[in-house]
Structure 1
Amino acid sequence: MGADNVGVTSEFAPLHTVVVARCEFRAPDSPEILGHRMPVEPEAVQILEQTWGKDFGAVFPDRQRVWEAERDELAEVLRRHGVEVLRPRLFTAEEKAAAGAEGYANFFVRDPWFTVGDQVIEGSLQFRHRRGEVLPSRSILLDRVMPSAAGYVAIPQPAIAPVGVAGEGPFLEGGDVLVHGTEVFVGVSGMATDESGCAWLTKYLRQHGLSVTPVRLAPHVLHLDCALGLVREGLAIRCGDRLPDGVPDSLRDWDFIEVSEAEAAAMATNGLPIDPDTYITDPAFDRVGRALEVRGVTVEYIDFAVSRLFGGAFRCSTQPLSRS
């Protein structure tokens, strides 16, 4: 698989082309519309409580500027390592208006679509304010995926449900999907991907020679990448408290850098391998970084404090189109 092709062979294969997220967020008009608690850092609760029904940048213009600078720095670090960086467009005024009281988000490109093997899949998100998040990436998918040999499909969308209820799935979110060769790990906690979403992906990928291994998550954990991060073959970062059944059998003999529940909540597992020898994380996780360096991994540090307020970090902020 060359750099011009679309496909992802693993979480840590050399990264050739990646999409880096934008920084748009308007909270729903009320917590009742959200349906269940927003998965954010504990320190962020009071900040985000001030944004119900409002654009984050309008309420916190200084933090908005820092947030955008964080993503721009990530893009520059990736380019410095020879990675082609693409960016989604911003929401149009019509898209913002159509979102209405449910609000909108264009801030974590990992979840609304994802690449597995040579298949690009548009997902289905539980949080209603995120269900239009694929739209700013659609032109990238049409420009890059349609002319390629890669497959391009979308999971069936969820049923219409009352306000404050996610409704009947299937739900399938990219933060739950980790690729390891022909085995695909899919996290299931009930907050994001559900059993029907996992079953749909299992059925779809089987015809392409890929198998799905479900991974049960603690109920409060949004995505698998908030509990487990694959760094290179044989090395991973994990929070055991968030994995009630442990890691999948194929990973049992790996070397794990363990993180606490508090570290995982702050996104310690959510770094980004550029290749098997280079990894991006936040200086807040220098303990993890030192453990990686002892194991021969070069660590790039980027302050992602504002991005992490929203419950995601480097993996959440990126979506590979080409890793091989």
Structure 2
Amino acid sequence: MLNLNVKDEIATLKAVVLGTAESCGSTPKPEEAYDPKSLEHILAGTYPKEEDMIKEMDAFAAVFRKYDVALFRPEVLEDCNQIFSRDIAFVIENKLIKANILPDREKEFEAILHVLEYIDPEHIVHAPEEVHVEGGDVMPWNDYIFVGTYTAPDYSDWITARTNKEAVAFLKEQFPHKTVKSFELRKSSNARENALHLDCCFQPLGKGKAILHKNGFLVKEEYEWLVDFFGKENIFEITSDEMYHMFSNVFSISPEVVVSEKNFTRLNDWLKEQGFTVEEIPYAEIAKQEGLLRCSTLPLVRE
């Protein structure tokens, strides 16, 4: 059995589900794009090829093996994009919460049922239908749960709005002993402006550090709350170009070890200066779908 345990983003990782790029299907039609960045690459003829994405995910898997992390992969569904396992479920403390994601992606959850067999069914929570939530918007951080959301009246008009106010209320109900702190994110059909999930503009790291992008937040005070929480001197502020390339979507294997994209030179140099071990891997093709390293993982057990 797996004893689920995730209290933050950085404690030493013991077990994880890493998505898969196998049989991810042909290039979608423009009208099938889930986000503005994918659409950009579909129209430009630069949408990533399956074989390139498989290589990138193999490199990520190799890092997990290097650190003795128990690695689970989804069952491969034919012609289905299963790269972003963070979207389909997330773990807080000892509960695995099944996300309510875009209806077309429901079958992705079924592809991890073989993993759920290792989990006590009492610890698997199905969010009610009106709760829209994706794991990229949810970050457990000790006594806090940080949640990215969008609560404007035009919520349903945005395919990029993935977590609603009902989700915030639901998390408060599930974890009454924690402070659920929500942040309004900027939704846009321009990929350089759009914060698809909270982890597209914010990421807490070990050693009291964090990555932030100011323009991803709609409410200046909410952004400033995070700056005060971590301390200005501990924050790596990314540009809109760096947000577009997903600089904040790195992944911590432990408080000292961060997996990052090898082309993120400015960030990786800063991380090394702060004393982190940086595992640099190629992930630029996957990034074209507005998701990166954190998006591809579903941590199950951290120390």
Return the TM-score normalized by structure 1.
0.80
Q: 1:74 is matched with which residue: 26, 50, 60?
A: 60
Q: Deviations over 1:162-205 (max 9, x none)?
A: xxxxxxx4201000001111210000135111111221122122
Identify if the C-alpha distance between structure 1 residues 181 and 238 changes in structure 2 by more than 3 Å, giving closer, same or farther.
same
Secondary structure in 1 matching 2:175: helix
Is the Cα–Cα contact under 8 Å of residues 87 and 136 in structure 2 kept in the other structure?
yes
Q: In the alignment, is the contact (CA less than 8 A) between 2:133 and 2:167 conserved in 1?
A: yes
Which letter maps to 1:246?
A: Y
Q: Give the Å deviation of 1:30.
A: 5.5
Which letter maps to 1:283?
K
Q: Do residues 241 (structure 1) and 215 (structure 2) align?
A: yes
Question: In structure 2, what is the equivalent of residue 144 of structure 1?
Answer: 118
Within the candidate set 218, 222, 226, 2:186 is matched to 218
* Alignment check: 8 A CA contact 1:18 1:85 kept: yes
Q: CA deviation at 1:87?
A: 0.7
Distance in structure 2 (CA, Å) of the matches to 1:69 and 1:273 = 21
Match of 2:87 among 82, 88, 111: 111
Q: Figure out how many residues of one structure are paired with residues of the other and give that number.
A: 282
Runs of 4+ displaced beyond 6 Å: none
1:89 aligns with 2:97: no
In structure 2, relative to structure 1, the CA distance for the partners of 1:253 and 1:155 (3 Å cut) is same
Tell me the percent identity. 26
| Native 8 Å contact 1:215 1:248 kept in 2 | no
Q: Does 1:132 align with 2:107?
A: yes
Q: Residues of 1 paired with 2:245 and 2:146: CA distance?
A: 22
Letter in 2 for 1:90: V
Give the counterpart letter for 2:111 in structure 1. Answer: P
Q: 244, 248, 251: which is aligned to 2:229?
A: 251
CA distance 1:116–1:248, change in 2 (3 Å): farther
Query: For each residue in 1:123-176, what CA deviation from the matched residue of structure 2 results, as whole angstroms up to 9, or x when unmatched?
Result: 111x343232211112201x22127xx72111123xxxxxxxxxxx42010000
How far residue 241 of structure 1 moved from its aligned partner, in angstroms, is: 1.3
Q: Tell whether the 8 Å contact from 1:7 to 1:117 is kept in structure 2 after alignment.
A: yes
What's the TM-score once normalised by structure 2's chain length? 0.85
Distance 1:214 1:283 in 2: 31
Residue aligned with 2:68, SS: coil
Distance (Å, rounded) in 2 between the aligned partners of 1:310 and 1:32:
14
Aligned to 2:7: 9
**Structure 1 residues 13 and 170, CA, compared in 2 at 3 Å: closer, same or farther?**
same
Cα deviation, 1:199-222, whole Å, max 9, x if unaligned, reads 11221221xx22311111112311
Match of 2:41 in 1: 44
Q: Deviations over 1:24-82 (max 9, x none)?
A: 54479755566xx62426862425798xxxxxxxxx7xx21111111111011111012
Corresponding position of 1:261 = 240
CA-atom RMSD in angstroms: 2.5
